[in-house]
Structure 1
Amino acid sequence: MATETPAAPPPWHAAYPAPRNPTPASMTREEVLAMMKQSQAGRDFVLVDLRRNDHEGGTIRGSINLPAQSLYPMISTLYTLFKAAGVKKIVWYCSSSKGRGNRAAGWFADYIEVKGDTEMTSFALAEGVKGWAKAGGEFVEWMDEYDEKHWV
């Protein structure tokens, strides 16, 4: 008697609509680092680390951790908070920014568009935190809780 393999559950994001643009705007790590260096007098951007179970090895300094699985229902609240704080750029990242990072940047860009906001922009960090950490040098100096063993 053959047994059937149970179907894999759908991915967490299947419960939500796909972003209208599957390849949203992105920023390079060099661009983000330059913003960080220039922001000593004040920040008009937010870095959002979307990792949950894979949140290890360190994070980019000053990032907030908001696991992607909890993001979609929070978009309107986040927008309101970011707007009140004068945030102009939101940079989303996960490990590689190929899945969660792009999805979050796309969802948030969709919401910004619906609101008719021409001052705020949503970006995915190209190559994610993995690309940041593996770039070494000055990039890892701008990480909190950096653990080299994780990135080898």
Structure 2
Amino acid sequence: MASSTKTQNAAPWHAAYPAPKSPPKGMSREAVLEMMKEAVAGKDYVLVDLRRADHEGGTIRGSINLPAQSLYPTLPTLHTMFKAAGIRKVLWYCASSRGRGTRAAGWFSDYLADHGDVDIQSLVLEGGIAGWAAGGSDYVTWLDEYDESFWLGAK
């Protein structure tokens, strides 16, 4: 019983890092889809899927997976890589983008502001991947490893 009490009282993983200074800007799934049709992933923008153990049901095409729990210490390296690649937009998402997605976008926005970088935008995908999948066929066709049964069970 002591181990379950210890787990219940443990601080959340993100408590070890500062809270973002301000809420990040969001981008709707409609705007992201239009961007994806016109721009090149990895060149013009990057999508970052922050899910770790819940990386089920698929991921948005062209996304990279960087679990949120390991993100904060890597911000300087990510910034260097994104800057060198000429990335203009970094879009962060998790299942709903109300926790990890918002936090990550906020952290990266803070990092950009602290370093005077106005060339890169840090945005959160509004509604996360659950909102994306709920958008219907126009959106699920852009999911790699799409598992319809996962999303049907989530409703």
TM-score where L is the length of structure 2: 0.91
Which whole-Å deviations, capped at 9, do the CAs of 1:40-65 have from their partners, x for residues lacking one?
59831100000001100000000000
Q: Superposition pairs for residues 1-152 of structure 1, below 5 Å?
A: 5-6=5-6, 7-21=8-22, 23-40=23-40, 43-152=43-152
Distance 1:151 1:43, change over 3 A: same
Runs of 4+ in structure 1 deviating by more than 4 angstroms, as ranges, are none
Distance 1:56 1:41, change over 3 A: closer
Instruction: Tell me the CA shift for residue 96 of structure 1.
Output: 0.1
Which whole-Å deviations, capped at 9, do the CAs of 1:98-149 have from their partners, x for residues lacking one?
0000000000000000111111110000000000001111100001000001
Q: How many residues align?
A: 148
Helix, strand or coil for the counterpart of 2:48?
A: strand
Identity fraction in percent: 62
**Cα distance in 2 for residues equivalent to 1:107 and 1:114:** 10
The letter of the residue matching 2:44 is D
| Structure 2: gaps of 5 or more residues | none
**Cα distance in 2 for residues equivalent to 1:29 and 1:105:** 16
TM-score where L is the length of structure 1: 0.93
| Structure 1: gaps of 5 or more residues | none
Instruction: Tell me the CA shift for residue 19 of structure 1.
Output: 0.4
